[in-house]
Chain A
Amino acid sequence: MSNREQNPPLITVSKLRKHYGEVKAVNDISLEISQGQVITLVGANGAGKTTFLNLLTGLIRPDRGEISLLGEKINGVAADQRAKRGIVKTFQLEHVFGEMTVFDNIRTACVSAAGMHYSMFKDIQNAREINEWTDDLLKLFDLTSVKYTFVKNLGHGYKKVIDIAMCFAMKPRILLVDEPTSGVGEEEKYRTMGLLMDQIEANHLAAIIVEHDLNLVKELSKETIVMCDGEFIARGTPDQVFSQEKVIEILVGKGF
């Protein structure tokens, strides 16, 4: 109980449900996440992981259930507002601003985070604070060398990192990462994940990371949840979780 007092739950999910007809994407899930808590979410394709994340960010509305941020119910809050309040998600497929440079991509996130939505008369080239902030982020994520390259000309791995960098620009409280290493080569995988975990720790963020690479999970994850058919079926350290009968069945049976 004293733990609760030290770490009040950041996000509380209560009996969340999203069904698509017959398919039970998210089936009455409840979960509590505290500040600084990093959870890895694994599960076969179609288990409902992305749907769950999208419900948290507001991209989808649930059929039933409640989502609360620091005790305040946010079911009705729009996606862009939730991002402002600290729930930020990366994308599994490429969702970056291809027709702009890397610099502009990050800068857009900074501008948005600073709330400068309606600033119409200040020349953005002169917005020194924003530009410096952007440069800092670029350095943090090792993107300075490609600062002026158009994102559509960059490789998949780069785009993932840019996506993550943009999320960090939002100064999130909880970061939802949807398969950060999918489509990324072996070497890059470790580098990206390392960078990600370092930043999460450094900023004491909460995080839910969806990941398919089980080796990576075993190595880097402290707390793992296994999801299957819309439900959380196991939870614990990777060793605990991966030694369970039903989990092995799913991993081998449904195949990753």
Chain B
Amino acid sequence: MNREVSMTIPSRGGRAKWIAALLLTAIAVIIPFFISGYQRTLIQKFLLWTPATFGVYFLYRLLRQVHFGQSIFIGIGGYIIAFSAGKYAITNELMILLPAALVISIVVAYVLGIFITKRTGFYFAVMGIAVTMVFWSLVYKARGITGGSDGISHINNPSLFTIPLGDLALYYFCLLVSVGMIVVMLRILNSSFSLQLRAIAGDLEKAESIGIPVNRMQRLAFTIAGANAGVTGALLAFSYNYVSPSAFDWGYGANFVQSAIIGGVNSVAGPIVGAFGFIHLEFFISTWFADLWEIIIGLTIAIIVLTVGEDGVTGIVKAVFGRIKCKLRKQQESTDKHVKS
């Protein structure tokens, strides 16, 4: 399917999208009072999962790169929290830890970005996977520091401006941070930065010849995605009170790609829908069919890509809406004709 993207032609239904967004946010605010604590944790995971998926979306939509490496930064964010609020009990303060996670993720992302973004396509994806495995092995082996395969549990509750946050309060904080990050990402998507990234993906040589600093911008895009995941990882650690090297498993990184694909990478709603779908799919299947998880998710993704390509669920929805609009328009035209005659 050819999805042509233009920033000049404003997407249709702009206002409808804003309403939908506000509605969703409102639902997210009210919903804790209607569902159980466990379900709320799931929603929380979804909220935190979305920005990381946005990172994958960002790199794919703009640069056509498949980013398997988000888990690196989730892991880094997570372990920062685990060390500070858990094992070494330095501080629980969110106002210190989140910026710390952000800064460290940015630095690591920038450094890693230097060689991961040197090649695109297949090589980029593989290097992403390779880096996650390297981190995994380092964390796994350094038992003394990181607790090895046991991970670190007993992470204290976070506190905001020294006020300890309970579960519910943490939920709202995550909601706030998530929505904030998504808004920022949406802003960036409409900027001249993004325009140039798409040019780089379109024709690298031409982009270079009109003065675009290709390497630096690719690195920056990578850093942005990583920063998202770093903050997310930190909050996830607080949400689950547990981190382990499995955060660096390449399958985990692949999960974000899968979320992005499920939602579709050609629509801004894609990462949100995809994250939602993925989290609930994962929960549902691991409860009833735990052993079949890999098979099901693997086949699902394969089928999705083979049928709707990269448009995912949002693509299907758009197609359906498109057909409905077409039919309505045709009806309108025929009634007009009737009226005229």
Contacts and interface: CB of A to CB of B under 8 A. Distances in A.
Contact of B8 (A88, A101, A109): A101
A121 B9 CA distance: 19
A79 B214 CA distance: 10
Contacts of A49: none
Contacts of A119: 191-193
Contacts of B137: none
Interface in B8-40: 8-10
A1 interface: no
A76 to B, nearest CB: 15
B199 A97 contact: yes
Contacts of B213: 78, 80-81, 117
B291 interface: no
Contact of B199 (A83, A108, A121): A108
Interface stretch (A31-39, A122-130, A217-225): A122-130
A117 B193 contact: yes
A199 B7 CA distance: 29
B109 to A, nearest CB: 15
Contact of B195 (A89, A96, A107): A107
B9 A101 contact: yes
Interface in A81-104: 81, 83-84, 88-89, 91, 95-101, 103-104
Interface string A45-56: 000000000000
Main secondary structure of the interface of B (DSSP, over half): helix
Given A108-B195, A111-B196, A124 B209 contact: no
A57 interface: yes
Give chain B's interface residue range (CB within 8 Å of chain A): 20 to 34
A79 B209 contact: yes
Interface string B203-245: 1011111111110110010000000000000000000000000
Contacts of B4: 99, 150
Contacts of B190: 123-125
A101 B198 CA distance: 12
B191 A80 contact: no
B206 A91 contact: yes
B142 interface: no
Given A118-B193, A150-B4, A100 B199 contact: yes
Contacts of A122: 191-192
A97 B209 contact: no
A165 to B, nearest CB: 11
A120 interface: yes
A166 B199 CA distance: 12
Given A119-B191, A147-B8, 13 more contacts: A57-B209, A80-B211, A80-B212, A88-B209, A88-B210, A96-B203, A96-B206, A100-B5, A101-B8, A107-B195, A117-B217, A120-B187, A170-B210
25 contacts: A81-B211, A81-B213, A83-B208, A83-B211, A91-B205, A96-B202, A97-B206, A97-B207, A99-B5, A99-B202, A100-B202, A101-B8, A104-B7, A105-B199, A112-B210, A112-B211, A113-B211, A118-B193, A118-B220, A120-B193, A123-B190, A123-B191, A130-B192, A148-B9, A150-B6
Interface of A: 57, 59, 78-81, 83-84, 88-89, 91, 95-101, 103-105, 107-109, 111-113, 116-125, 127, 130, 147-148, 150, 163, 166-167, 169-170
